[in-house]
Structure 1
Amino acid sequence: MDAQKDLQPPKQQPMIYICGECHTENEIKARDPIRCRECGYRIMYKKRTKRLVVFDAR
């Protein structure tokens, strides 16, 4: 029974999006509305990852 208490459901990290109008960073979770918290603009761009991305040419 104690083993079940240790298991935690995976937490969803909020993604960081950048507003297309005022360029502020917004943290948006899975069920949040897609809208800038500063100006209310509805077009958001996902922030580029800091991880190295490598593409292989064939």
Structure 2
Amino acid sequence: MSQPQSRYTQQNPNPLVDRSVKVPEVIQYICGDCGAQTAMQPSEFIRCKECGHRVMYKPRTTRSSIRGSLIIGPGCL
């Protein structure tokens, strides 16, 4: 007598895991010496491609801040 086939054999064992290939992200940096913008991957050494300087800065985000609307005036305290 053969065993009945399980209804779970064709389902993904972990459906929440994304199995697509991820492209390495590129991060923008600004050189501390010459000011040139350089795109680097996380696995690369931190060094400017223009002048070779090792101090690199990430540019600030342009997200709007909520804190500006939460300023409490002198009459509110």
With normalisation by structure 2, the TM-score equals 0.55
5 Å matches for 1:1-58?
Answer: 7-55=19-67
Structure 2 gaps of 5+ residues are 1-18, 72-77
Q: Residue 48 and residue 11 in structure 1: after superposition, are their counterparts in 2 closer, same or farther (change >3 A)?
A: same
CA positional deviation for 1:53: 4.0
Structure 1: 5+ residue runs without aligned partners? 1-6
Q: How many residues align?
A: 52
Report the Cα distance in structure 1 between the residues aligned to 2:49 and 2:30, rounded to whole angstroms. Answer: 11
Greater RCO (Cα-Cα under 8 Å, separation 6 or more)? 1
Task: Find the aligned partners of 1:23 and 1:33 in 2 and give their Cα distance.
Answer: 18
Structure with greater Cα Rg: 2
Choose between structure 1 and 2: higher strand proportion. Answer: 1
